[in-house]
């Protein structure tokens, strides 16, 4: 396990991610105090089955219809 300071982690993030992907564990510290741990994501051991919720979820016929004005307005106000 290697410990790097926050500045070094920001400067060399892509290299640290590559090292973590290869199996290394890297601790990121600030002022000598460990804050985070960079590790590889666990690999899926088996494929996710398709149709897991088949027959349990339904979409209404109006699923992709435009939203009513009362629902649309807050979204439209934020985008302008």
The confidence score (pLDDT) of residue 24 equals 95
Mean pLDDT, each 10-residue run in order, the chain (80 residues): 94 96 96 96 84 88 87 72
- Whole-number pLDDT of residue 79: 52
pLDDT at position 49: 84
Torsion of CA 7, 8, 14, 18, to 10 degrees: -140
Q: For the chain, which domains are there?
A: 2-38 (3.40.1620)
Q: Is the CB of residue 4 less than 8 Å from the CB of residue 25?
A: no
């Amino acid at each position: 396990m290697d410990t790097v300071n926050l500045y070094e982690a920001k400067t060399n993030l892509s290299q640290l991610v590559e090292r973590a992907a290869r199996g290394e564990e890297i601790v990121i510290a600030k002022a000598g105090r460990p804050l985070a741990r960079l590790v590889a994501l666990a690999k899926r051991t088996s494929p996710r089955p398709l149709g897991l919720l088949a027959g349990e979820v339904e979409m209404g016929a109006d699923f992709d219809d435009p939203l009513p004005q009362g629902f649309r307005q807050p979204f439209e106000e934020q985008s302008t």
